[in-house]
Amino acid sequence: MNGSGTAPAAPTPPRPAYRRLGVEERRTQLIAAALVLFAHRPPEEVSLDDVAAAAQVSRPLVYRYFPGGKPQLYEAALRSAADDLELCFAEPPTGPLSGRLAAALDRYLAFVDEHDAGFSALLRGGSVAETSRTGAIVDGVRRAAAVQVLTHLGVPEPGPRLRMTVRTWITAVEAASLIWLDEGKQPPVTELRDWLVEHFVALLTVTAAGDEQTARVTRAALALEPADGPVGRLARRVTPVVAEAGHLL
């Protein structure tokens, strides 16, 4: 179990030079190898032997770094993926909101694409690798994304309606990403990204209809959108859909 001290007399060491890595370097390398495996298979189908083979080290060496075995390694890999994901929404706070959201979503959706099977297994629930700690890591990513979006809206102190709007949209992005994976990554990722931006603009606008803070933020955001940008194109495509509903105005 805890192979501290006893050096295993392995007959053929996989790579004679592997001891040259420092502790942190080795740890990082093992996590990276694990993440690649966990990205493309459900955690049930990844063994510590797989990780050792992928990193070209022995199984005891993996245990030396992760004495808790697979659960500990899974959690470390998830933590590392979460750190990457949290960077997705860190976009310079300049230019129209739609462009910033699109850039953030491009990074997020590229992550989903690269970690497809692992992303599905983690978020669908019921995975054996799921614990309250992995749940907390996932929630941390959602919270960080919400803070980033609110920063882009220029609202350090959001009221409850705006907060609920942003948090609900973030979950909708996650759900749409899972559906997108289910549907064999259709529609093309740029269409999905545009639709998610449009979803946000629409949700912000209807929330603005009933909340003064959201109304201020929405007016300011719309004022910065160029006519030839995604929101302008959306506005002109929505017009014919609602044209016959003049009786509602």
Task: Compute the least distance from the CB of residue 73 to its own copies, in Å.
Answer: 18
Is residue 208 at the binding interface for its own copies, with CB under 8 A as the rule? yes
Q: Considering the complex, state which of residue 52 and residue 234 has its C-beta at the smaller distance from its own copies.
A: 234
| Location of structure tokens 């994976």 | 181
Handedness of CA 235, 107, 203, 124 (dihedral sign): positive
108 CB burial (10 A radius; 0-12, 13-18, 19+)? buried
Residues 95 to 154: which contact its own copies by CB under 8 A?
Answer: 124-127, 130-136, 138-139
Of residues 27, 55, 50, the one with CA closest to residue 40: 50
Is residue 171 at the binding interface for its own copies, with CB under 8 A as the rule? yes
Alpha-carbon separation of residue 227 from 22, 154, 169 (angstroms): 54, 22, 24
Residues 186 to 205: which contact its own copies by CB under 8 A?
Answer: 186-187, 191, 194-195, 198-199, 201-203, 205
Count Cα neighbours of 15 within 13 Å in the Cβ-side half-sphere.
13
Task: Compute the least distance from the CB of residue 165 to its own copies, in Å.
Answer: 9
Is residue 157 at the binding interface for its own copies, with CB under 8 A as the rule? no
15 CB burial (10 A radius; 0-12, 13-18, 19+)? exposed
Task: Compute the least distance from the CB of residue 176 to its own copies, in Å.
Answer: 5
Binder among 10, 164, 188, 190 for its own copies (CB under 8 A): 164
Q: Cβ contacts of residue 56 below 8 Å, gap of 6+?
A: 14, 15, 18
Handedness of CA 45, 172, 217, 241 (dihedral sign): positive
Question: Where does this chain bind its own copies (CB under 8 A)?
Answer: 124-127, 130-136, 138-139, 160-161, 164, 167-169, 171-172, 174-176, 179-180, 183, 186-187, 191, 194-195, 198-199, 201-203, 205-210, 215, 218-219, 222-223, 225, 227, 231-232, 234-239, 241-242, 244-245, 247-249
